[in-house]
Structure formats: structure tokens, C-alpha cells
Structure 1
Amino acid sequence: MKTAWKLIFIGVLLLYFAGMALHNDALQFFLKPLLVSTLLGIFISETAGIASPFKKWIIGALVFSVGGDTLLLFANNNELYFILGLVSFLMAHVCYILCFHFIKVKESVSGKWHTAIIVGVYYFFIMSFLIPHLGALKIPVLIYGMVISFMLLLAMHLYDLTDHTTARTILTGAILFVVSDSVLAVNKFYRPAPWGGWAIMVTYMGAQWLLVKGLIRYIKHRRSSDSTAVVP
């Protein structure tokens, strides 16, 4: 079943990008909600039978992401759908934040002040650039920017996990998510680029895949560590 979900994910992803290349809007419309849905299937199948307090937050993040993907399909027809999609993705990031926070506490990882400066500089510059173009959406976008920046900050803190592969995978996923949303914001509010759609989707799917991959690895590694700890 694990292999089946991975094959389905790869198939849906390739078909979706084929739809983009062929400018087939109907194919993209049908497949977009399935992209993260198949990642959810991978996560559930890979962690089946493993009791973990983090699973509910990861599932929540993926479910809200599917909701955001679906709502944004209608954003060109009604601005309300864009706002609802933004809220859905905001909730996805809140779920990732809670997951990263509890991992940070569980692993006794301490934060570093320079990471806050790096994230703060990113937030200041991207928002300074976007604010003149946001109009009535200024407050929602500013709030969303704060939330995704905090998600990135916590992912940077997790870089000190003892399992460096997990740490790098999660951080790379978080960075790609920020890149994807930044390109989306510039594309929507400032000036659309011919390559914008590709940049958004490649980084977005890379982000979600790496976050799921890293968090699956963490949950399995945590189970192995806990099992070893109780062996006399």
C-alpha cells in the first residue's frame, strides 16, 4: 500500500505538470486537489500503527492545504475564494507550527537569536515590497506573512535535531514553502511572470513532499529511539 500511494502521487504530479505544459486547465483543475491528498495517503500509510502526538498536526496541515488548493481554484472568479484559500493555508501553517514547536520541546532544542533576525529581515523586505500593491488585502497578507515566517523560524530551530537528515529535509521544505508563497504573492499583487505558475507549483510540491518525508522520518526515528530506551 505504501508503494501504491507513492506511485499514485508520482502519477498525479506528472499528469498535473503535463496539464500545465499543455495549458490544459480542465486537467489541472481536476488534479490539483489530488496532489496533496496523495501525500496525505503516503503519510497515513507510512505511519500506520505508530502512536505519535505529532501525527494529528501533520494530517491537519495536509487537510487544510488540500482545502486551500481547492479554494484557490475559484479565486479568479471571486476574490472571496482567495481570502478563504489564504485562511485555509494559514491554518495549515499553524498546524505545522504546532508540530514543529512540540518537536522542539520534545527534543529540548533551543532557539538561536540570529535565526529570528534572518526571518525578520525576509518578512520586512517582502512586505515592504508588497504593501503598496495589496489594497484591501493588506491586513490578511501581513498576518499570513507573519504566520509563515514563524513556521520558517521554527523549522530553522529544528536544524539542531540530532538526526541531521531529518533536520535538513524539514528546513528545505519550509524554505521552499516560503519561496512558493513569495512568488505567488509577487505574481498576484505586483506583476505576473510567464514562469510564475511553474515556479509556484514546483516549489510548493517540493515543499510539501519534503515536509512529509522529513516528518515521517522523524516519527519513525522517534519510535525506534523510544523502543531502544525501554529495552533493559
Structure 2
Amino acid sequence: MLVSLIHAIAIFFRKEQLRRITKIFIIPPLLAYYLTGTDAISILPALALLLGWTGDILLLKLNDRLFFKLGLGAFLLGHIAYIITFVTVTGSIHFPALIISAIIAVPYGIAAFRLIHPEKELIIPVIVYMAILETMNIIGLQLFLSRMDLYGFLIFAGCLCFMVSDAILAYFTFRTLPRYGAILIMVFYALAQAGIIIGLMG
């Protein structure tokens, strides 16, 4: 989290070189913490972190459409790795919550898509990414309801933070990104990754 704090400060004071350097080092400490802090290491959370790290590096060139697509793909695969992990550790299905969250996901997705208003060539990638992200949140909620403990809450909260971070990123990808927007993106992103990993270690 210290690296994330320095990164946010670098964004605020427009220290571009420091911002680029610190962004690359947000994930490695968390990955090291996971690999050394648990006796039951699962390959999928580690893979999700590596894919997130790859996405961070690719999105250093956010205005380049190729790098944006590749970064989006890396995060998409990372979310899928988390989804598979959540499914394997979810004890039971809470059907009322599943139905309600699925119903909410549809209008939310439509509203978010209209707000983002991606360019024509990015419509399909954005729709697919949003669908996977919403699926991760729905399954994260199921995991929390099946465990009903602090670690389950951290996982679900991490999923929600991912949604907030990605929504801000997607919105400003096609607009001018203000400093507060860049800071919020990285704060929620760091909280998302940390929440999920700490929750899975519990």
C-alpha cells in the first residue's frame, strides 16, 4: 500500500516519471505477500495478480488503442482467474441474492455502457469486459454470503472496488483524465487487489 500511496502523490504533483515507476511496483509486493504469507498457495490468484501487473504495464500507454486493448485483455483474464477461484471456494448458492444481483446487473451494465460510450471498434471488448466484471461481483457476493466472515467481506469489497476503478478508467479513457480521476482509479484498484488477496488468504 505504501507504493500505492507514493503513486497517488506522484499523480497529484504531476511527477510523471515517478508515476510510471511506482505503477509498475504496485502489484509485486502484494504478489510476494501472497506467495510467502499462505501455506496453501493457489496458482489462480497468483496468475490473476501477474495478469493485473501486465495490465498495469500495458496501460502506461493508455492513449494507444492497441495497448489499451491488450491491457483490457490482461485484466479480463485476471478477472476470469479470480472468478474460477471464487467458484472453487464458495460453499453454497444464495439463490435470492443471485437473482437480485443478476437483475441489478443488467440495467447497471446498460447505464454504464451509455455513460462510457466507447468508440465503435471498442464496443465488443468493452461489453465482454463489463460482463465478466459483473460476473465476478455476483460470484464475489455469493462467496461472501456463503462464508459470512471478514475475509468473505474483503473479497466482495475488493470486487466492488474493481468495478468502481474500472468504471472511472473506462469513462475517462474516452475523455480528458483529471488528476482526481487518475488518483481514484489507482486507489480503488489497489484496494481491490489487496482486498481480494487478503480475503483469499483468510
Q: TM over 0.5: same fold?
A: yes
Q: Deviations over 1:6-47 (max 9, x none)?
A: xxx52x223222211221111111121210111101111111
The reply to whether residue 18 of structure 1 matches residue 25 of structure 2 is: no
Alignment size in residue pairs: 200
Q: Is the 1:119–1:152 contact (alpha carbons within 8 Å) kept by the matching residues of 2?
A: no
SS at match of 1:23: coil
Task: Report what 1:89 is aligned to.
Answer: 75
Structure 2 unmatched runs, 5+: none
Instruction: Decide which of 25, 40, 44 is 2:35's aligned counterpart.
Output: 44
Question: Which residue in 2 is equivalent to 1:60?
Answer: 47
The separation in 2 between residues aligned to 1:144 and 1:85, in whole angstroms, is 11
Mean Cα deviation higher: 27-36 or 192-201: 192-201
2:100 alignment partner in structure 1: 114
**What is the alpha-carbon distance in structure 2 between the residues aligned to residue 141 and residue 173 of structure 1?**
21
* Cα distance in 2 for residues equivalent to 1:156 and 1:115: 9
Q: Distance in 1 between matches of 2:183 and 2:8?
A: 8
State the distance in 1 between where 2:62 and 2:112 align.
22
Bigger relative contact order, structure 1 or 2 (CA pairs below 8 A, ≥6 apart)? 2
Structure 1 residues 192 and 98: alpha-carbon distance in aligned structure 2, compared to 1, 3 A threshold: same
Instruction: Give the AA of the match of 1:172.
Output: A
Counterpart selection for 1:102 from 88, 95, 117: 88
Runs of 4+ in 1 over 6 A off after TM superposition: none
Q: Quick one: which amino acid aligns to residue 116 of structure 1?
A: A
Q: How many Å apart are 1:115 and its aligned residue?
A: 1.5
Checking the alignment, whether the CA contact within 8 Å between 1:71 and 1:81 is kept in structure 2 is: yes
Question: Equivalents in 1 of 2:176, 2:22: separation in Å?
Answer: 26
CA RMSD of aligned residues (A): 1.6
Counterpart of 2:194 in structure 1 is 209
Quick one: percent identity of the two aligned structures?
28
Unaligned runs of 5+ in 1: 1-8, 218-232
Query: Within 1, Cα distance between the matches of 2:198 and 2:107?
Result: 28
TM norm structure 2:
0.92
Q: Give the number of the structure whose alpha-carbon radius of gyration is greater.
A: 1
Distance in 1 of aligned mates of 2:85 and 2:149: 18
Length-normalised TM-score, structure 1:
0.81
Q: 2:176 matched to 1:185?
A: no
